[in-house]
Amino acid sequence: MKRQTLQIGSALLATTALSTSAIAGTIINASDTAQGTTLTAKTLSAQVFGATTPENVTLGPVSLNLDFANALTTTFDVEVESTNSDFTGTVTLEVYAESGTTLENQVSFGGCTVQVLTERILIEDCVNATVACRIDLIQLSGIAFNEANGLATVGSSIALSGIVKGASGGNTFETITSANIVTSATGLTAAATAATGASISNTAVPPFSSLSGGDNYTLGVVTTTTTGTLATDLATTISIDTNLTASMEITVTHGVLTDAATDDITITGSATGGSVATSVTASNFNGNIASFNFSAAGDILGSFDIQVNFDGTTAISNWTAGTVGVVFSPGSLNLVAVPGATGTLAALTRGGFSTQINTVQSSAGTGSTVFQSLIRLVNNGSVAGPVNIVVRDDADGSSYGTYTTATIAPNASLQVNMPTIETALGITASGQYQLGLSGPIDGYAQHVMFNSVDNHFVDLSGFRAANP
């Protein structure tokens, strides 16, 4: 519905008062049957611009309606300008009057030549053929843009605005309010979500050989989604994964991949093409890194669980949180790769008892006569169990093996001397040791030094916590 029609006879009163910002037409969605009030901008994929000559990419065509604030009954011109692009191609138009909520084609309104220039579209010499005719709206079709490579930056837009004047440079009747016609966005996004940290079970058999939920654990999830962006024709939705990207690489970086208990890491997913499952075995890890590649149609869009699998017999160590990275390549319609993503993966922490003692004296030299190292283990929990003691050379870290104590009852303690451990493991006593202690109990360990000269015991433990 128009707000005013100012005329004397058949002539519109074109006064300078009409050129104020309060008198402004709008750009709305194209329609030739119904009166509208809204405009929905086209969402262009920001990745459709090639790396060589992106300025030569043509966008469109699109159609839209210029809805005037006033009903025009005399000859007029319209200029339409663009930001962030130039114009190209051929534009056609139709003129309409509004009748309630419908539009009536005003075929008797003649003239209206259209020129598409680089920086503007000129609609000139629209001539009223009959007194009864009026123009409320012009529909423009075939609007195309080039030199719009600024839209390769996500969030950039092409906006149109305009001005309506009397013929041949006459007074301004009204302006056309600027509106975004095309806005760029990323057509494919990835997100990584870490799982809740895992608890390595102290009651497993052997201790710490599995998690509270079994022999495998989901470290996190990668989700890829398409946002429904359009190709350069501003009509084709880029929804097929191979149009969005030719391949996706998921790279997992986590200390657990170096754990002796780890068999493999698997990605299982629910993708648009069906279920996906692929594994990398421990022998193919690159240190603490494993990579997965997806390139088949239907395998890229979906949700992907990252699962580490253990052998169920080897004790699993504590591991801090890891990371996951997602990288895409260009697709058949996206000529530039969409941005990737990074995220964190869950940590793994032992439940129960796990600690370390350094600079433990061997039984050689003064270790047998003067300074004797004793390991005192205290179970102040409610679960009975043995403690595994991994013995390493304190100088170079090489392992001598694992000594397993007798079962320690709840609220009980056990003391082990180094000659006992050395004999059990066949170690030739020399230098000092580093001990890694773990077990299903809740408790703590002490490093006690016995000075046989003065008959004194000294507690050398810097802490008594189960998990320092």
Look at domain 188-350 and name its CATH class. Answer: mainly beta
Alpha-carbon gap, residue 308 to 199, rounded angstroms: 14
CB-based burial, 268-287: b 16+ in 10 Å, e otherwise: ebebeeeebeeebebeebee
- Look at residue 421 and give its three-state secondary structure: helix
Per-residue pLDDT at 207: 75
Intrachain domains 7-185 and 188-350 with the same fold: yes
Q: Establish how many alpha carbons lie within 13 A of residue 241's alpha carbon, considering only the half-sphere containing its beta carbon.
A: 20
Q: At residue 54, what are phi and psi to the nearest 5 degrees?
A: -65, -25
Which helix (H) or strand (E) segment holds residue 446: the answer is strand 443-451
SS3 content of the chain, % helix, strand, coil (to 5): 5, 55, 40
Name which of 249, 267, 344 is nearest 303 in CA terms.
Answer: 267
Per-residue pLDDT at 131: 55
Per-residue pLDDT at 75: 84
CATH classification of 7-185 is 2.60.40.3550, yes or no? yes
Per-10-residue mean pLDDT of the chain, 468 residues long, equals 40 38 84 90 94 82 94 88 96 89 76 91 79 82 95 96 87 95 95 91 80 89 94 93 92 97 94 85 95 91 95 91 96 92 94 84 76 91 87 91 94 94 93 88 88 76 50
- CATH architecture of the region 353-459: Sandwich (2.60)
Alpha-carbon gap, residue 436 to 130, rounded angstroms: 99
Per-residue pLDDT at 128: 62
Per-residue pLDDT at 22: 52
Predicted structure pTM score: 0.73
Report domain extents, the chain: 7-185, 188-350, 353-459
Alpha-carbon gap, residue 302 to 336, rounded angstroms: 21
Per-residue pLDDT at 132: 62
Alpha-carbon gap, residue 297 to 276, rounded angstroms: 12
Per-residue pLDDT at 3: 43
Per-residue pLDDT at 7: 39
Cis before residue 61, ω within 30 degrees of 0? yes
Alpha-carbon gap, residue 157 to 145, rounded angstroms: 12
